[in-house]
Amino acid sequence: MKKVIKVIIALIILAIIVFGYLIYKNDKAIPAADAKHAVNPNPVSRYAIDKPKSNGEYIARAADCIACHTAKDGFPFAGGLALNSPFGAIYSTNITPDKATGIGNYSLEDFSNAVRKGVRKDGEALYPAMPYTAYRNMTDADIKALYDFFMNDVKPVHSPNQRNGVGFPFNQRWGLSLWQMVGLSSQKPADLGDKELNRGAYLAETLAHCGTCHTPRNLFFAEKGLDSSSADFISGAPLGDWYAPNVRKVAGQWTQQELAEYLATGRNDHTSAVADMSDAVNHSLQYLSDEDMTAMTKYLKYIADKNVPALDPAKTQATATLLTNAKDLSEGAQLYANNCMGCHFAAGQGAAKVFPKLDGNELVNAKNPYGLLHVILHGARLPSTIKAPAALAMPGFAGELSDEEAAALATFVRSSWNNNAPAATAADAAKARK
Amino acid sequence: MSMREAKKVDVLLVGLGWTNSVVGMEIADSGLDILALERGPDRDTVPDFKAPQMLDELKYALRHELAQWPSIMTLTHRYKPGQKALPYRTIGSFIPANGVGGAGVHWNGNAWRAQPEEMKLRSYAEGKFGKAVFSEDITTQDYPMTYAELEPYFDYYERIMGIAGKAGNLNGKIVEGGNPFEGPRSKEYPTKAMQTLYNSETFGHAAKELGYHPFTMPSANMTESYTNPYGMQLGPCNYCGFCERFGCYNYSKASPQTCVLGALKQKPNFHYKANSEVLKIVLADDGKTVTGATVFDEQTQETYFQPADLVVLGTFALNNVHMMLYSGIGKPYDPQTGEGVVGKNYAYQIVGGAQLFFKDKNFNRFVGAGSASIAIDDFGTNNMDFGKLGFVGGAYIQSWNTNGQPIRNLPLPPGTPKWGKGWKEATGEWYNHSMSIAYHGSNQSYRDVYCDLDPVYKDRHGRPLMRLTYEFKPNDMKMAMHYQDAIDGIVKVLNPDHVGRGYKNMNTVYDLRAYQSTHNTGGTIIGDKPTNSVVNKYGQVWGVHNLFICGASLFPQNIQYNPTGMAVALALHTAAAIRDQYLKAPRELV
């Protein structure tokens, strides 16, 4: 019976989504905000690094609350960051203990309902931009510690929340409540038969909410799997115009140590973090204790794809030879030789921890070339972390490469060595340039 | 008019190049409030050294974008006392830097240690060859510490910079393939030696044939991925040939940016301000301590006072001396009486060499790196019979290929027309067919070679410029001629089609216009007593205990090697003394 209800609800939601999308498509000019978040005259320096001072703060870091709940020019946890969903901009809210504009009036239960059930103090449902589908498994003890941290250690900031840029019908909160019936499962702590693995699962599935970006979503925009029992869980997903890689495949290619290095420093012998992952390392993952990092990476190895094919050295060599001989090179190959080869080299292997390997790289091979083009045109900078303070950066080449050239270069990179991804177009590059 | 007083800091670092970067890092864990003031702009690999913009020979190598332009600061020069000095109006003989990272941004990365004998040069030479080995006008003196005392700091600097090389003397044991004449090192180099280029291999074969001991030059150009003790990272060099006068776009050359600053900027108690020029270090009324410094803010054009409990002067060697002279700290050196110490024992580097042209050898000169070199130390200071040769000094001999840049680096056989059709044809014919062999030699200190304040010329702030009195001396030119013979002997074995000679001889006059090296040393020298030096063995100014000096201005005379390694090892020695001794009880450490 429960199943039938679920199907009916699903159909209703589907109808709303289709209807809504048609409206949304025709009417994107919805006023975004009616209030501006408070501006911080001294935004946190990109080099500021401090260790968590309490258990609650540790959990806040592990759950990466600050990433979404702080605007670029805002105060910590005072909200105001626009999260661009396919349905319009959703602004993160003020979760400082300010009574007027923040969560100062929240009881522990109110707080728990918001974090674990996606329900506001006033009973309205929260957009699943708040990853309560992951946080639902947060333990009572951690919720309490987190609540104490926000109430006692976070400075209250008067900063009104902004109206979301989400149009009808997605602005109908009752629709969200229906959605929660499909998207949100009940609490189900991991039981993988090993204390350390369970801890790792708790960190990855719940606190670090890896699935929010890395798990593909279904028709109802709900994650296809919320834990390791689902093959879809963290198996790679589009993320706006970027692509959040298939973690299980990567975990099959890397050692546990390499996974830990990547998560703590944003870099390892294979690649470097970019975009949102770089922020996750910067604000959250680098602060995991050594024990937790071991547990989390043990879990990632546990759920890794076991049969990831190794790269073919002959294919690597073929491109290396082509570039080294430098005869009759295509435009893309020439651009690679002139702009990229100094660091990434002819074999596309880069150099451990400094220059990412392009051969077999997840970002390079993403279905959508946007991420690669974005890095080519705008560059990327690693965060300065405790264990790796060098904020290594790749410069952007927007000033040197036309859209056509950037596309030719990206196409070359995506089809050389062991890479085998569709060509990029000048239109893709034009989009990434913006 | 009273000056605005900024908030007091515990430690003021004047200049943010190699030396003060490592000093800042080494004392940061004290928790003290540390402020670094850098005259020039802030610079970082990205965006400031980005390729292809950085690969602009005209902008960076000829117009000296990263350098201290004479309009910002310069000095005057004369050959001997009594002459009128004239300003250094165009960058020529040496290239002081401007901006965060200092000359550590634009160096080639030749990364040497001094020899044990060089650190005790006067007693070594006199002990072995008799007092008469030094002519009366030579004021060369010993360092107040031994090589063995400094060895841990040499080792540490190599680890901070990830120096690429092959040990020749590991704890006294001579190792095949390294430099057998180097001082004993406690550890192998942190990264493997540079790849050798065809020109240096050609040189190496000839040197071996003559019974010499060729080895790969120790290098701050990276050969592999490297993470240093501060967690900072370097990546392998691609031999693009844009090291000296350029910032490395590739994270492949050790610099304050690549090796220190990312880690230092993380320290919550460390801050720095670019475009902030310290004009004067202010002595307290009692003359026994300093109270801070007056600072010119380039952006606001304001001059203000920055109070500090401890000041570390770590600007370029020449500017360190100027700062001390202008601030009136320490007694200025008087060449007539030999008394006074500030400005004493300025020294430089004696360099020269030959260009060899081979019709049938292709050197691929566009493949290069600042330290892509094979060298021999068979003619080094500790391997020379000063008594027999009639001079004191030494040099290493090398063949390197730093770059094949087209404007500055088109060597042509002697007699080629300087312009027109003949020049064009010769350029096409010879561009890829030449290699160099050069010597890089020591320079002794002399009674009448020194720095003082110029009586005529002033800088943009109205401060007198520093006046440099410098000329090549017979001892060093005798040495130069010895290396001419040594190189000619190697050239003979190689038998090139043409040879261009750029040697010095007894008639050579110092030419301020032509680039020679940015190895200006001395002027605030290190020593064992206040009467012969400005600072004690810890770099602490005699009589002014809260002022320390770092840099090559501490060298009592110049060693035969490039000075960066020695300067940074001394700075690390000073930093350890500040951290472990001075901060616990501020006082004179000697």
pLDDT score of A63? 96
Beta-carbon count within 10 A of A361 CB:
23
| Dihedral sign computed on CA atoms, order A177, A180, A185, A187 | negative
What is the average pLDDT value for chain A, to the nearest integer?
Answer: 89
Interface test with B, best of A42, A44, A46, A47 (most B CBs within 10 A): A47
Find all residues with CB under 8 Å of A334, minimum gap 6, and list them.
none
pLDDT band with cut points at 50, 70 and 90 for residue A184: confident
Residue B3 in contact with partner chain A when CB distance is under 8 A: no
* Nearest C-alpha in A relative to B53: A400
Q: Which of A345, A354, A389 sits opposite B266 (nearest CB)?
A: A389
**How far is it, in rounded angstroms, from Cα B291 to Cα B302?**
19
**ipTM higher than the 0.90 cut:** yes
Q: Is A48 on the interface with B (CB under 8 A)?
A: yes
**What confidence category does residue A5 fall into, taking pLDDT thresholds of 50, 70 and 90?**
low
Nearest to B231 among A352, A387, A395 (CB): A387
Residues of chain A with pLDDT > 70: what percent? 90
Question: Please, which pLDDT band fits residue A172 given cuts at 50, 70 and 90?
Answer: confident
Q: What is the largest CA-CA distance in chain B?
A: 72
Does B164 reach chain A within 8 Å, measured CB to CB? no
Checking if the pLDDT of A87 tops 90, the result is no
Q: How far is B33 from chain A (nearest CA, A)?
A: 15
Q: Which residues of B touch A272 (CB under 8 A)?
A: none
CA distance A388 to chain B (A): 5
- Using a CB-CB cut-off of 8 Å, the residues of chain A touching B45 are 392-393
Among candidate residues B213, B440, B482, B519, the one labeled active-site is B519
CB contact under 8 A, B258 and A395: no
Orientation of helix A2-26 relative to helix A173-183, angle to 10°: 130
Half-sphere exposure of B227 (CA within 13 A, CB side): 16
A10 pLDDT higher than 70? no
Please tell me the distance from the alpha carbon of residue A397 to that of residue A407, in angstroms, as a whole number. Answer: 12
Q: Is A18 in the B-facing interface, judged by CB distances under 8 Å?
A: no
Strands B434-441 and B498-502 turn out to be: unpaired
Q: Is the bond preceding residue B47 a cis peptide, omega within 30 degrees? A: yes
Q: Which residues of chain A have a CB within 8 Å of the CB of B230?
A: 389
Report the residue from A351, A387, A393 with minimal CB separation from B225. Answer: A351
pLDDT at A221: 86
- Determine whether the interchain pair B233/A354 forms a contact, defined as Cβ–Cβ distance below 8 Å: yes
Whether B251 contacts chain A with CB within 8 A: yes
pLDDT < 70 stretches in chain B: 1
Question: What is the model's pLDDT at position B567?
Answer: 98
Chain A interface, best mutation among B46, B195, B221, by max A CB count within 10 A: B46
- Residue B85 forms contact with A (CB below 8 Å): no
**pLDDT computed for residue A9 by the predictor:** 64
- The yes-or-no verdict on residue A179 having pLDDT over 90 is no
Residue B77 annotated to the active site: no
Q: Give pLDDT tens digits for B240-280.
A: 999 999 999 999 999 999 999 999 999 999 999 999 999 99
Contacts of A405 (CB under 8 A, 6+ apart): A331, A335
The residue type found at B537 is K
pLDDT in the model for residue A31: 39
* 8-state DSSP, B162: T
Question: A199-216 burial by CB neighbour count: b if 16+ within 10 A, else e?
Answer: bbbbbbbbbbbbbbbbbb
Q: What would the pLDDT profile of A259-277 be if each residue is shown by its tens digit?
A: 999 999 999 999 999 999 9
Where does B95-161 have alpha helices with state H?
116-119, 121-129, 147-161
The answer to whether residue A393 neighbours chain B at the CB level (below 8 Å) is yes
The pLDDT tens digits for A198-254 are 999 999 999 999 999 999 999 888 999 999 999 999 999 999 889 999 999 999 999
B224 to chain A, any CB pair closer than 8 A? The answer is yes
Count the Cβ atoms, other than its own, within 10 Å of residue B19.
33
pLDDT tens-digit map of A45-61: 434 567 888 999 999 99
Q: How far apart are CA B110 and CA B352, in angstroms?
A: 17
